Amino acid sequence: MEQSTPAWVAHYPQSIDWQAPLERQPLYQTLEQTASNYRDHPAIDFLGRKLNYGELFEQVNHAAKGLQLLGVKPGTRIGLCLPNTPYSVICYYAALCVGATVVNYNPLYVERELAFQVDDSGTEIMVTMDLEALYPKVAAMLSRTESLKKIVVCKMAAVLPSVKGVLFSVLKRKDIASIEKSDAVVRFEDLMNNDGDPTPAEVDLDEGIAVLQYTGGTTGQPKGAMLTQGNLSANVAQMTLWFIGLRPGEEKVLGVLPLFHVFAMTCVMNFAVASGAEMILLPRYELEQTLKTLHKTHPTLFPAVPTIYTSINQAPTLSKYDLSSIRYCVSGGAPLPLEVKNTFEKLTKCRLVEGYGLSETAPVATCNAMVGVNKEGSIGLPVPRTELSIHALEEPQNALPSGERGEVWIKGPQVMKGYWNREQETADSLQNGWFRTGDVGYMDEEGHFFLVDRIKDLILCGGYNVYPRMIEEAVYLHPAVAEVTVIGIDDAYRGQSPKAFIKLKEGASVTEDEMQAFLADKISKIEMPSTIEFRDELPKTIIGKLSKKELVAEETMRTSEPSA
């Protein structure tokens, strides 16, 4: 399976060695080194309020000691249910300092989704915000789940610039949750009230689980990819090698991607800390705010998903903003349309490269070159110390030659340890160190890789994995529904969006608006079907299983038909 000299080696970007040694170490140690080397350099800029690396390291130590005083030990699962704020960075590194396992939560999750992940991961402590949109549903987990024992509540006003913080407290009072007094609820300021002298845990880079990153996989049932500190630090080392001309201590990374997503966790947060870069954090993506931030703060790195680049390309006010500071743009999370790439590069004079990876690979596995050859439609070359191999779909153990299509397998130091409490899924996905991605692609003669299809039954929606089964389960909760099938359809903005096909029970009547209103508190906005079609019958296989392929074929034919 291994090649003595892989095809990509001869066509690798100049000044990068594919076989370069990768420095792996605990991420807390990386932060400690950066704080020593760049103590007075800005670490975080959150809506104008700045924190330098010395201050960040000090706050991480206080949070780490606070967690130890709460009884956190190596292996304790700590959930982070946060928008992008300084709290996200502080609590992430504090948890890793004491050997805990971070469990990333999407703040858009509804209670049902939160409860599943809390129970599945055994999360004992959850860190969240004092926001009405967040706190009540997290607090409900104390009684709804078995494992959750404590909630650490962080104040939004406390991390805003002073004037904005006062205005937020006064003008946004309705957005601030009422926090009940309870032994189970810990205020962040109380967590930090200690001598700031934690006892860092002994870290086994290859065995200790640093992060549980939930991913749906082939079945749509969320699974926790077990990422070790070795996986994460290796992927950061791979990224720092890939960015030719990187200036440690001088770069600025715009963090508009959510840090709970594996792409931003590595390519914004961990990468910034490793390179002494300033993180310019925005709590969510909003076009005008992002353009103003780009114009005002002059970031040099701008990782994003295709939908963000698309919206910037189409911004009517784009000419007002100076984007010339951007030196590196990496697109991930979904296929990057060639038109979007070309338009963005023309507007910004910055090369936009596409990368590829998965939660299970921490995530980066391939990337197009920052300097040199970029091939249209390619996901690039394997990053240092990473191998890709194409395997026959019918006979998976058979590796295929260049040009032939098959399943993409990945091997490298960033490949996960396995799935949390899922022995069979782990055995199915990991073969002698190779991870079976479930994606179909091919390699050309020069070692560039291309994706052509997906085996996995998922929808790539604006850079997020949306799992049809989760939507289907929510639809089935409606008493009028007999059967439902969800597929992905083309979406000019998000790449794909979910479409639900529903068969109602005899005599039942539901409108599309009524069904979407019913689903509003059961699935997140990104999962909400853009279209709902009611049918008398849904296609089935010969054994009576609901079949998607006929519906996919219909939608493909519909979108390919010329308009009248």
DSSP of 267-307: IIIIHHHHHTPEEEE-SS--HHHHHHHHHHH--SB--B-HH
Whole-number average pLDDT of the chain: 93
Q: Per-residue pLDDT tens for 75-95?
A: 999 999 999 999 999 999 999
Instruction: Evaluate if residue 228 carries a pLDDT over 80.
Output: yes
Tens digits of residue pLDDT in 501-533? 999 998 999 999 999 999 999 999 999 999 999
Pairing mode, if any, of strands 150-154 and 185-187? Answer: parallel
Asked if residue 163 has pLDDT above 90, the reply is no
Pairing of strands 49-52, 42-46: antiparallel
Do 79 and 103 touch, CB atoms closer than 8 A?
yes
Tell me the Ramachandran region of residue 47: left when phi exceeds 0, alpha when psi lies from -120 to 50, beta otherwise: left
Q: What domains, with CATH codes, occur in the chain? A: 26-41+50-204 (3.40.50.980), 387-454 (2.30.38.10), 459-560 (3.30.300.30)
**pTM to 2 decimals?**
0.86
pLDDT in the model for residue 218 = 41
pLDDT on residue 467: 79
Query: Residues near 269 by Cβ (< 8 Å), separated by ≥ 6?
Result: 88, 89, 92, 255, 259, 279
337-381 tens-digit pLDDT: 888 899 999 988 999 999 999 999 999 999 999 988 999 889 999
Is a pLDDT exceeding 60 seen at residue 542? Answer: no
Q: What are the pLDDT digits (tens) for 104-117?
A: 999 989 999 999 99
Three-state secondary-structure class, residue 92 = helix
Q: How confident is the model at residue 544 (pLDDT cuts 50, 70, 90)?
A: low
Counting every residue written for the chain, the total comes to 564
Q: Which residues pair with 407 in a beta bridge?
A: 391, 440
pLDDT for 564: 47
For 20-41, the pLDDT digits (tens) are: 999 999 999 999 999 999 999 9
- Is residue 54 pLDDT above 50, yes or no? yes
Q: Output 217 or 97, whichever has higher pLDDT.
A: 97
Q: What is the percent of the chain with per-residue pLDDT over 90, rounded to a whole number?
A: 80
At residue 1 the predicted structure's pLDDT band, cuts being 50, 70 and 90, is very low
At residue 219, the pLDDT reads 46
Q: For residue 217, what pLDDT is reported?
A: 44
SS3 at position 223: strand
Can you read off the two tokens belonging to residue 510?
């539901």
Closest CA to 508 of 477, 537, 476, 480: 480
Q: Which is more confident, 547 or 81?
A: 81
> What's the per-residue H, E or C state across 474-512?
HHHCCCCEEEEEEEEEEECCCEEEEEEEEEECCCCCCCH
3 state SS of 139? helix
Distance, CA of 242 to CA of 17 (rounded, Å)? 10
**Measured distance CA(309)–CA(160) in Å, rounded:** 27
**Whether residue 243 has pLDDT greater than 90:** yes
- The per-residue pLDDT for 169 is 77
Comparing 113-127, 252-266, 307-321, the range with the smallest average pLDDT is 307-321
CA proximity to 283, closest of 418, 107, 503, 37: 107
Rounded to an integer, the average pLDDT of 425-447 is: 95
Q: What is the mean pLDDT of residues 213-234?
A: 84
Of 458, 452, 414, give the one whose Cα is nearest residue 434. 414
Per-residue pLDDT, 7? 96
pLDDT for the residue numbered 452: 79
